[in-house]
C-alpha cells in the first residue's frame, strides 16, 4: 500500500470510529479507560523493552541528556500513565450536555448540545506519556485520535498505542478510536494534513519548525500549542517580598515549560529596591540574568556576577532554560506595550497592591491567562481545575490556554419543531 | 508602495485598532453604529452612483440576471443596511461577560471572560450589504475587520466602507476598525493570508474555488462558510401533510441559499402515499425533480412531467436552484448513512411522529443544526434569536451554524491571586 493510501485508510477508519464513539455511553468509555490503564500495567515489561530501543538510539545519536531523560520510561512513569487514565475515567463526561435551550416566538425549541469534534490528529514531539494522556482525553470526549509522535520515541509510542487500542477494542469500542502512524517518514504528516474530509482538527505540539510546517501545509483547522514568552511585571505598588517569591517561582520551579516566565519587567520607581535582592536570588539558583542598560547599572553597582546586555532578540526568545531577561519600564503602559510587542499571548502576570493597576492589566493585556499576584506557572489544566489537558492552546479561536475535555468538544444545534415553516 | 507593503500596513493598522476596540465602551460602540447608519442614509446618492458603475460593468460582462440583481442597490436596500446597523446597536454587548468564575483550593479565583477575537478578515463574493452587515457585527463585538469583497461589487463596497470607517472615526473609534482592500488584484488575498502575526481569523464566504484557495494558502485560522447540502428525511411515521408542507418550504421558499433543502429522502413504507402529492406540488412550483429508480417508478405511474434519473453526482450537488434530488430509503439507518456520506454537516431534518426515530436522528446526525419536524430554512442567526449573523459556519471547531456576536468572540482567563506560587 502506498503511504498515501495508508494514511487515507487510517483517516477513514478514524472517521468511522468517531461516529461510533460519539454515541458511546459514558459507562462504556469509562470501562475502556480502566482497561487501558490495566493493560498498560500488564504490558510494562514489553513497553520497557521497546523503550530501551528508543533510549539506546537516542544515546547513539548523541541527543542531550535532558532529551534522553524525557524519552526514558520506568515502572513509576508507566504507573503514572495508567493512573492518569483512571483519573480521566473519573472526570465528568463532557458529551451530551445541553449548554442552553430556549423557545422562539414561533414555538421552535432550540438547544445547543455539546458533541465531540470528531477526528483529531495530534502531532507531537514530546514524551511517550503524551501518547497515553491524549488518547485517554480524546476517547473520553468521544473523539477518535490519530497519533503522530516524534521519531525518537517511535518504539515506545507504538507499544503504548497498541495496548491502548487493543484494550479499547476489548471494551467493545472501535479499535480505530486510537490509531498511531507507524512510519517515521515525514511524508506521512504531509498526507494527513490534506485529508480534510476525514480529519476535523490538527493539534501540533512542539517546536517552531513543526508548527510552521503544519500551519503552512494543513488544509484542516489547526489549534496550535505554541511557545510561551511569558512576562511578570512588578508594578511600582507591588509588595516586594511577594514579587520576589512569585517571580522566582515563575522562572525557577520548572524552567523548561511554556508557562515559565521568560522576561521580568520592573517599574523604575522600585527597581533599585527590588532588583538587587531579586537578581541575587536568581543568580544563586543558577539563573543567567540578561538585562537592559538600567538593570545592568543597578546590578553593576552591587553584584558580583555581571549581567549581560539584552539584545532585541532576547525579548523575543523563549529560553525554556535557567535564563531570564529583565527590563526596567517607566510605566504600566510601557509594560503592557512590551508584552503586546514581544509576548506570545500565553500567560502574563502583574504584581501589585494597586486596584487600578490590577484592573487595567486584567482588562488590557491580551493573553490566554492574565494574572494578578500569582505565578504564570498555574496555566495548566489540572491547576485550573479542568481535570487534565491535551495541551495549552495559543490560538485566538475555539480554545485559549489549557484544553481539557470540554475544549475537545464543539456543539450542534438541536431543534424541536411541530411543523414550522419559514415565512 | 508594493502590494505586500500595502497589505501589511492594512493589517498592522487593524491590529492597533483592535487593541483600542477591545477596550471601547458599549456606549461608544453603539454611538458609532448609529452614526454609521445615519452616514449611509446621508450618502445614499453617492453610493447609488458608485453602484451604477458596478451594475453597468456586470451587464457589460454579461453576468446572469440573478447576479446583477444581487449587486443592485436602491433606496430601500440602503435603508435596510442602515436599519440593520441600528439593530446591531440594540443587541447586548457580548464583550466583558465573565462566563463563569470559580475558586481553587489554593485560593486562586479563575474567571473565563469573553473578549473579542482581534482582527478578522472577511473574504466574500456576495451582495454589497454584506459590507455593512459584517462591519457592524465586528465593531459591536470589538473586532477590527478587513473587508475583501468581490470585484463585481468593488465600487459599491468601497463607497459603503468609506462611509462606515469615516463615521467610526467621527464617533472617536479608530478609523482602521473597518478597512477595505482597495485593489481587486487577487494577489492581495494571497498576501493577507500570510499575515498571521496581525490577523487572527479569516472568514471566507463564497463558492468552492474561493474556499479552496483560502484553505490551502492561509497560515491564519479559517472558519469556512461553505456549502449546504441539506436533507429532509420523511420517516415512515411522518405526518404526511406536515411532510409536504415542510419539505416544500425547505426547497422552494428561497432556493438560492445554503440552508435550502437539496435532497429529499423518503422511507419506502410511505413513498407511494407521499411522493405523488409531493412531486406534483414541486413540479407545479417549477421545481425540477430528479430521482432514484424507485422514485421514477412511482412518479412514472402517475405523473405527467418525467423525473430524470439521479446520478451519484446529484447526491453531492448543492443546486442552489429549483432543482431537487429525491431518494427512497429502506430505513432510518440508511437515511442517516446517506446524510453522512453526501451531506455537508449543515442542516438536516427528519419529519416523524415517532419518538424513537426523532431521538435517534437528533443523537446520531452530525450537522450544525438537526431538526425534528421543521424546515431547514430556519438555520439563520435571526431565526435562532442571535440577533444577526456574519454567516453560517460549516466548521467543526469554534462555532457551528449561525455566527452572531458571541461567536465573533473568544475568552481569556483572568486570575486573581494573593501571591500564590506553584509547588
Among candidates A216, A400, A411 on the partner chain, residue whose Cβ is nearest the Cβ of B411: A400
Is the Cβ pair B22, A249 closer than 8 Å? Answer: no
Q: What is the pLDDT of residues A92-134, one digit of tens each?
A: 999 999 999 999 999 999 999 999 999 999 999 868 999 999 9
Is the Cβ pair A368, B401 closer than 8 Å? Answer: no
Q: Using alpha carbons only, how large is chain A's radius of gyration in Å?
A: 24
CATH fold of A3-226+397-416 reads: Aldehyde Dehydrogenase; Chain A, domain 1 (3.40.605)
Among candidates B104, B368, B421 on the partner chain, residue whose Cβ is nearest the Cβ of A413: B368
Q: Which three cell numbers stand for residue B312?
A: 451519484
Q: What is the pLDDT of residues A212-246, one digit of tens each?
A: 999 999 999 999 988 999 999 999 999 999 999 99
Interatomic CA distance for residues A184 and A291, integer angstroms: 42
Is the Cβ pair A412, B370 closer than 8 Å? Answer: yes
Q: What is the pLDDT of residues A360-414, one digit of tens each?
A: 999 999 999 999 999 999 999 999 999 889 999 999 999 999 999 999 999 999 9
Contact B77, B133 (CB under 8 A): no
A368 touches chain B (CB under 8 A): yes
- Restricting to A residues 67-126, those with a Cβ less than 8 Å away from any Cβ of B are 102, 104, 108, 110, 115, 117-118
DSSP B380: S
Distance of CA B333 to the CA centre of its chain: 29
Is the Cβ pair A396, B201 closer than 8 Å? Answer: yes
Q: Which three cell numbers stand for residue B334?
A: 440508511
- Restricting to A residues 128-187, those with a Cβ less than 8 Å away from any Cβ of B are none
Confidence (pLDDT) at A303: 65
Q: Which three cell numbers stand for residue B375?
A: 424546515
Q: What is the pLDDT of residues A292-328, one digit of tens each?
A: 999 999 998 876 688 999 999 999 999 999 999 999 9
Residues of B within 8 A of A215 (CB-CB) are 196, 219
A362 touches chain B (CB under 8 A): yes
Number of inter-chain CB pairs under 8 A, A vs B? 193
Delimit the CATH 3.40.605.10 region(s) of chain B. 3-226+397-416
A361 touches chain B (CB under 8 A): no
In sequence order, the 6+-apart residues with CB closer than 8 A to the CB of B131 are: B147, B149, B156, B157, B160, B161, B164, B180
> Quick check: ipTM above 0.90?
yes
A222 touches chain B (CB under 8 A): yes
Residue B31's alpha-carbon distances to A311, B37, B143, B169, in angstroms, are 44, 10, 16, 11
Delimit the CATH 3.40.309.10 region(s) of chain A. 230-384
Q: How many CB atoms lie within 10 A of CB A207?
A: 13
Interatomic CA distance for residues B76 and B80, integer angstroms: 6
Task: Please tell me which residue of chain A has the smallest CA distance to B347.
Answer: A413
In angstroms, the separation between the Cα of residue B345 and the nearest Cα of chain A is 10
Query: Which CATH number describes the domain made up of B230-384?
Result: 3.40.309.10
B25 touches chain A (CB under 8 A): no
Residue B21's alpha-carbon distances to A218, B29, B32, B123, in angstroms, are 31, 8, 11, 21
B383 touches chain A (CB under 8 A): yes
- Helix, strand, or coil here: A56? helix
- Helix, strand, or coil here: B119? strand
| Mutation for testing the A interface, residue in B120, B397, B401 having most A CBs under 10 Å | B397
Phi-psi region of A384 (alpha: psi -120 to 50; beta: other; left: phi over 0): alpha
Q: Which among B352, B354, B394, B391 has a CA at the least distance from the CA of B373?
A: B352
Is B303 a residue whose pLDDT tops 70?
A: no
Q: Which three cell numbers stand for residue A124?
A: 507531537
Confidence (pLDDT) at B125: 87
In angstroms, the separation between the Cα of residue A119 and the nearest Cα of chain B is 10
Amino acid at each position: 500500500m502506498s503511504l498515501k493510501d495508508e494514511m487515507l485508510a487510517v483517516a477513514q477508519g478514524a472517521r468511522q470510529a468517531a461516529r461510533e464513539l460519539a454515541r458511546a455511553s459514558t459507562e462504556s468509555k469509562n470501562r475502556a479507560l480502566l482497561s487501558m490503564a490495566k493493560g498498560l500495567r500488564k504490558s510494562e515489561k514489553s513497553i520497557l523493552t521497546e523503550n530501551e530501543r528508543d533510549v539506546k538510539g537516542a544515546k547513539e545519536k548523541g541527543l542531550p541528556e535532558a532529551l534522553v531523560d524525557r524519552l526514558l520510561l520506568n515502572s513509576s512513569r508507566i504507573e503514572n500513565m495508567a493512573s492518569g487514565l483512571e483519573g480521566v475515567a473519573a472526570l465528568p463526561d463532557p458529551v451530551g450536555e445541553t449548554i442552553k435551550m430556549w423557545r422562539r416566538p414561533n414555538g421552535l425549541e432550540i438547544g445547543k448540545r455539546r458533541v465531540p469534534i470528531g477526528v483529531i490528529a495530534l502531532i507531537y514531539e514530546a514524551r511517550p506519556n503524551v501518547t497515553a494522556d491524549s488518547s485517554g482525553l480524546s476517547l473520553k470526549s468521544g473523539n477518535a485520535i490519530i497519533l503522530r509522535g516524534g521519531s525518537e520515541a517511535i518504539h515506545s509510542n507504538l507499544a503504548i498505542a497498541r495496548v491502548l487500542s487493543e484494550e479499547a477494542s476489548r471494551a467493545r469500542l472501535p479499535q480505530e478510536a486510537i490509531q498511531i502512524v507507524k512510519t517515521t517518514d515525514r511524508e506521512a504528516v504531509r498526507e494527513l494534513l490534506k485529508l480534510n474530509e476525514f480529519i476535523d482538527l490538527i493539534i501540533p505540539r512542539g517546536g517552531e519548525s513543526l508548527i510552521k510546517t503544519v500551519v503552512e501545509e494543513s488544509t484542516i483547522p489547526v489549534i496550535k500549542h505554541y511557545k510561551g514568552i511569558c512576562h511578570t511585571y512588578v508594578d511600582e505598588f507591588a509588595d516586594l517580598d511577594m514579587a520576589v517569591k512569585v517571580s522566582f517561582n515563575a522562572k525557577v520551579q520548572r524552567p523548561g515549560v511554556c508557562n515559565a516566565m521568560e522576561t521580568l519587567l520592573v517599574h523604575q520607581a522600585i527597581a533599585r529596591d527590588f532588583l538587587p535582592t531579586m537578581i541575587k536570588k536568581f543568580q544563586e539558583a543558577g539563573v543567567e540574568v540578561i538585562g537592559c542598560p538600567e538593570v545592568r547599572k543597578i546590578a553593576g553597582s552591587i553584584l558580583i556576577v555581571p549581567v549581560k546586555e539584552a539584545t532585541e532578540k532576547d525579548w523575543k526568545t523563549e529560553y525554556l532554560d535557567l535564563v531570564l531577561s529583565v527590563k526596567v519600564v517607566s510605566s504600566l503602559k510601557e509594560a503592557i506595550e512590551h508584552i503586546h510587542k514581544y509576548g506570545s499571548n500565553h500567560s502574563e502576570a502583574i504584581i501589585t497592591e494597586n486596584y487600578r493597576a490590577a484592573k487595567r492589566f486584567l482588562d488590557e493585556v491580551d493573553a490566554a491567562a492574565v494574572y494578578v499576584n500569582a505565578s504564570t506557572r498555574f496555566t495548566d489544566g489540572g491547576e485550573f481545575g479542568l481535570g487534565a489537558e491535551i495541551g495549552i492552546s495559543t490560538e485566538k479561536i475555539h480554545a485559549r490556554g489549557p484544553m481539557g475535555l470540554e475544549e475537545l468538544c464543539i456543539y450542534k444545534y438541536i431543534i424541536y419543531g411541530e411543523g414550522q415553516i419559514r415565512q
